């Protein structure tokens, strides 16, 4: 089934940010810093989508653009140093893969434009003044997991597992979504939410073993750097301990998770390339509205459902944007 991916701008229009004379000549090589919180392996498809989109806009690596990649390898303590390094390299623009890298980049510079991607609360954490008019050197894309989206994830999980009454929300200390709002959504569905924190890869086995021992019915995994980087391990453990779950990024489902309800990261990064292009052509990030996804896709992994001995209701399958068989 064709994936539905529709994005809108919060508001239209942007003014131009004057650049030095001759800075927009065709033969000028631009330096794009890419600050990634995860690993090259975990995010290879994302950076490919970003580079492909820039290529379609006329930027050829080694000819008129050079990428400065910085990979934090899932270690949040490395991000500020890497942001500072990109500033020292005097890149033309910094692309920040999620909220923590965006915050680190903003702390490192107030002059180099920053394109944030996959942030959750850019206004609340002070990245931008507003979505319609950011007001500083940061703009980009926000995948805001508003309460309605969190409630929808839990509702879909409940539809797949009508008897589920205890759901563990597995998260790491770097999770930026409002975890307590899952508890509020759970009360409305008569589902008890239990928060389970994992601090590193070494905690995953213990966490899943304990959830299985405590007879949790299912899991819900918000997207964050650690769990995204370890998504194959997370999906494997979920199958091993027979814990069906719903995830906030479709990459988990492709790795073997049961189902996901999310925007597509690759599309967010393709759109980030459009922001980079606009900024390199002179647009002012202060007046470039922050873009948000308006539709999320439901992906169901039927192979995993069969492994877990589950029958997904036909009504849910018919609503899925994509089914993995």
Q: Which two tokens stand for residue 290?
A: 């922050």
Q: pLDDT tens digits for 67-94?
A: 999 999 988 899 999 999 999 999 999 9
Q: pLDDT tens digits for 208-237?
A: 999 999 999 999 998 778 899 999 999 999
d(CA 148, CA 31): 39
Q: 65-69, 110-114, 136-140, 222-226: lowest mean pLDDT where?
A: 222-226
Evaluate if residue 23 carries a pLDDT over 80: no
Q: Which residue has the tokens 């950011």?
A: 134
Task: Please answer whether residues 55 and 125 qualify as being in contact, where contact means their C-beta atoms are separated by less than 8 angstroms.
Answer: no
Q: Summarize the confidence of residues 150-158 as an average pLDDT.
A: 93
Half-sphere CA count of 90, side-chain side, radius 13 A: 1
Direct distance between the N- and C-terminal alpha carbons of the chain, in angstroms, rounded to an integer: 12
The whole domain housing 251 covers: 147-262+297-324
Among residues 156, 223, 225, 242, the alpha carbon closest in space to that of 191 is found at: 156
Residues 182 and 315 in one domain: yes
- Band of residue 146 on the pLDDT scale cut at 50, 70, 90: low
Question: Measured at the alpha carbon of residue 189, what is the angle toward residues 185 and 195, in degrees to the nearest 5?
Answer: 50
How confident is the prediction for the chain on average, in pLDDT?
Answer: 89
How much is the pTM? 0.84
CATH number of the CATH domain containing 33: 3.40.50.2300
Report the phi/psi class of residue 256: left, alpha or beta, with left for phi > 0 and alpha for psi in -120 to 50.
left
Residues 305 and 172 in one domain: yes
Confidence at residue 223, expressed as pLDDT on a 0 to 100 scale = 76
Segment of 104-108, 145-149, 223-227 carrying the highest mean pLDDT = 104-108
Residues 77 and 90 in one domain: yes
d(CA 97, CA 121): 14
Q: Summarize the confidence of residues 237-247 as an average pLDDT.
A: 97
Please provide the DSSP assignment of 185-229 as one string.
Answer: HHHHTT-EEEEEE--SHHHHHHHHHHHHHTT--EEEE---HHHHH
Alpha carbon 216 to its chain's center? 26
Residues 91 and 237 in one domain: no
């Amino acid at each position: 089934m064709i994936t539905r991916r529709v994005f809108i701008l919060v508001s239209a229009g942007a003014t131009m940010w004057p650049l030095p004379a001759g800075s927009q000549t065709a033969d000028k090589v631009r330096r794009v810093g890419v600050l990634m919180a995860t690993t090259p392996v975990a995010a290879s498809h994302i950076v490919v989508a970003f580079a492909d989109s820039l290529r379609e806009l006329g930027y050829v690596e080694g000819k008129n653009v050079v990428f400065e990649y910085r990979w934090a390898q899932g270690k949040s303590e490395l991000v500020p140093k890497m942001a500072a390094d990109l500033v020292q390299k005097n890149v033309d623009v910094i692309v920040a893969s999620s909220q923590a890298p965006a915050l680190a980049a903003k702390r490192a510079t107030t002059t180099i434009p920053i394109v944030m991607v996959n942030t959750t609360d850019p206004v609340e954490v002070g990245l931008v003044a507003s979505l319609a008019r950011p007001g500083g050197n940061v703009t980009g894309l926000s995948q805001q997991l508003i309460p309605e989206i969190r409630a929808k994830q839990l509702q879909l999980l409940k539809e797949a597992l009508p008897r589920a009454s205890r759901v563990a929300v597995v998260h790491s200390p770097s999770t930026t979504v409002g975890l307590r709002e899952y508890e509020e959504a759970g009360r409305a569905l008569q589902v008890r939410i239990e928060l389970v924190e994992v601090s590193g890869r070494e905690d995953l086995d213990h966490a899943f073993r304990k959830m299985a021992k405590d007879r949790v019915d299912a899991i819900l995994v918000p997207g964050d750097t650690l769990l995204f980087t370890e998504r194959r391990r997370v999906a494997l453990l979920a199958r091993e301990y027979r814990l069906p779950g719903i995830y906030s990024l479709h990459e988990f489902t492709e790795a073997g998770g049961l189902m996901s309800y999310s925007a597509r990261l690759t599309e967010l990064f393709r759109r980030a390339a459009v922001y980079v292009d606009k900024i390199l052509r002179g647009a002012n990030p202060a007046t470039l509205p922050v873009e948000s996804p308006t539709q999320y896709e439901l992906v169901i992994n039927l192979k995993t459902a069969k492994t877990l001995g589950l029958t997904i209701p036909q009504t849910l399958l018919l609503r899925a944007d994509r089914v993995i068989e």
